[in-house]
Every structure is written in structure tokens, then in C-alpha cells.
Amino acid sequence: MFFRQYFLGCLSHASYLVGDETTGRAVVVDPQRDIDAYLADADEAGLTIEKVIETHFHADFLSGHLELAAKTGAEICYGEAADADFPITHLRDGDTVPLGDVALEIRTTPGHTPESISVIVREHAGDDVPYGVLTGDTLFIGDVGRPDLLSSEGVTADELARQLYHSLRGKLMTLPDDTRVFPAHGAGSACGKNLSTETSSTIGEQRRTNYALKPMSEEAFVQVVTEGQPTTPLYFSFDAHRNREAHALLDEHAPPPALELDEVMARRAAGAVVVDTRQHPEFAAGHLAGSLNVGLEGRFAEYAGDVLRPDDEIVLVCDPGHALEAKVRLARIGFDNVTGFLADPVRAFLDRPDLVVRSSRLTADELAERLRTIRDVAIVDVRNPGEAAEGMITGAINIPVARLLDRIGELDPARPTVVYCAGGYRSSIAASSLVAGGFDDVSDVLGGYEGWRNRHQ
């Protein structure tokens, strides 16, 4: 058997290539949108990708099923409750997908979504103990899939949580304890609230350690899995719908075109959003007025999806050689309208200093002084609610980055505004978004809340 996990850290996403080396038949499960790694590994191992199996319609990334089908001719497979705008093969509970001696068994496991399935992998078709189970977003390491993402679609969190309770106990926990567990996400994903940094486990270990699998009633389970979930990123609804649709394919090798400064400014004047992907200290030292700062060093696509709209035209400012990376990472969440990048930003900034501004960044002591000497300062905590619950600067309002666009009307553009997060990455995103939105006086806090707490609490 050929079995390989691909873990994409910036989205906490795991996908899988599974094949039979004797027959050369293979499948890819839950692929990311840029597919070269699967194609290269399949070619090296002498495998032909015959199927793309999606455990459900993903909300946190745009999947690569269309790209893989176009490249390989593979059929796209979903659970029997799935409905899509492109041809799919439905996999039903108990179906077997033979690859040779290697065989896959499908189990319907609704709960995270109605169409969710899990894929049991047997190295030999008759093995009593499977090699593993690909659980999608039904079962994570240390957690289970959140059931509240489809509440806006007419399916309640309560209904899905009850389905999840029975899927876990009736379909997954019936597997032998030695069965390996391979989920679709790890720590950092907003698809659950307590995901482990580990990327695999076993059924037995999860039975012993996973809070959601402890003996409890259905009512208790519903309560525990629906409370305390992280803020849903703004783009999740877009991706959940986009994954059902036929759409243009990604060319992961074609960089966006280089643009001179005049063209960048003309596009911005026409409504394009300039996204500066440099690290926040560099952005603070000098950037094009009105640009957003979402650094490539962090969870770039996820946070870009919080402060951009899917149909925005995007022009990039990047360190040399990173424009293609930024384009591909945005494409992983379906933000495809990247029309170019600024050629040689350093030269452009030197040639046109009149277009360049600095960000206001305050130390904890400078913030304390501002609060003493300036009336009516608005303080915005852009951390998630769980972080804010552990302590906030007195007088702050908690608006997570993922809610900033929706709640910007709660803030007064004329008030001096100070933004903070945990360390500076998210506050730079939020502060630049507020400035681009017309706020007159915006600063963010160096060292974030920890820096403030160490000095003033």
C-alpha cells in the first residue's frame, strides 16, 4: 500500500494519497487546490489517480477536486447526501472502493455537515483491523467537527450535533482500537475548538482522551460541542458554496503580472485593494497609503479572507519572489482575482515618497500615556472571544478580526482608535483595514495584550 499524508500548515489542512502499488490504482482524499504534489508523488510511485474523494463540502478552503479531475480524468466522489453543480459519483454507506488488495470502505458520518463521510483504509481487503480511517471533519485529534457552520443554511447546530453523536458512537467508535485516525485538520483550524497539534492518532487513544467521546448522554454531547466554538472566519460561507460549484481552474505555475506604480495606483483608484504581504514591522516603516497588511509569514489566506471580499480585485505588494506564493495561497480559499503585483516596491517607494505613509505603533507605556492625556480613545481587542475572556485592557471592545468588516459600523472613524491582539500580526491587519476604511487616527500596540499586561496589570 502507498499511503501519504500532506499537511498544509498555513490552513491546518491534511489531505491524503492512497494507492495499491501492485495495481497502480489510487485515490486522493480532500485535496488542496494546488495539486502538483499529488501528481508528482503518484507519478514517482507508478500510481494512477482514479478518484478524488471528498469527505464533505469544505468551508475553510477551496478544494482541488476540479483541478485533479481535469489533470487525471479522475471521477469526483462525495457522500450520498451531496449535491453539486458538476458531475459527481455518490458513495453510500458500506460501499467498497477496491484499489487491488488495498480496499476502502465508506461510512456515512453526518454531523459536521449532512453529507459527511469517513473512509476506512485496509491494506488487505480482508483485514479485521483496518490500517486507518480518514475521518474528514467528523473526528479530529482531541476534538470533533463543529456542527454550527451551516446554521445560516437552514440546518441547525442542534440537529447536526445529534447526527454527529450517533456518527461517532455508531460508525467510528465501533472500529478496533488499533485503527489509526487521520483527520482533515489539525491545531489552528476554526473547524473545531480543541484540535491537537498531532496529525494522527488511534481510535483507542481518542476513545480515552477526546473530551467529546467520553461517556455522556446525547443532550450533554449537544451542549458540549456547540458551546465555545471559535469565531467563524468570514470567508467560510463563500468557500462552502464555491466547493459545490463549477469554477475556473487554478494555474499554480503562472505568477500574476508585474505592475509599475502608476498602474497600481490607477487600479486602486478604480476599486482594487492593495494587499501588502510583508511582515508587519516592514509595513509599519513605510507602505502605500490605504493598503492592507496581511503578512505571508502567518495564516495569510485565512486572515486575508477576513478583511477582503471574494470578488475584490487584489494587487499585491510582496518581497521579491513571493508574488506567485501569495497568489496561490489566496487561491486556496478561492480568492482568484489577483491582477498583478508592484514591481520593485523599494524603488517605487523611494521614487514616490508622497504616496508612502507609516503606521502608528504604540508601546504599552505610550498607550498608557495616550489614555491619560487624550479623551475618548477607542480600544479594540481583535483577538478571539476565548482569548479575550482571559483578560482585556480596561474599556476595550472585543471585535475579532473575522468580524471586523461586519461590525465596523460600531466604531467611530473620527475617534482616536487603538487596536491590539496577542502579538502584532492580527492588530496590523485590523489597523490597516480601519485606515483603509476611512478612520483618521489608528494605532496598534507593540507586544499586544501580553506586553500591556506585563507593564500595567
- Cell numbers at 184, concatenated: 482533515
Count Cβ atoms within 10 A of the Cβ of residue 453 and give its class: 0-12 exposed, 13-18 middle, 19 or more buried: middle
Q: Which residues of 124-149 are buried (b: 16+ CB within 10 A; e: fewer)?
A: eeeeeebbbbbbbbbbbbbbbbbbbb
Does residue 10 have an active-site annotation? no
Backbone angles phi, psi at 311, to 5 degrees: -95, 5
Radius of gyration of the chain (CA): 24
Q: Is the dihedral of CA 219, 224, 230, 233 positive or negative?
A: negative
Q: Which residues of 12-34 are buried (b: 16+ CB within 10 A; e: fewer)?
A: bbbbbbbbbbebbbbbbbbbbbb
From the list 77, 191, 318, 421, the catalytic residue is 421
For residue 416, count other CB atoms closer than 10 A to its CB: 18
Strand 356-357 with 378-381, pairing: unpaired
Give the bridge partners for 182, in sequence order.
Answer: 134
* 315 within 8 A of 291, measured Cβ to Cβ: no
- State the residue for C-alpha cell 494519497: 17
Catalytic residues: 421
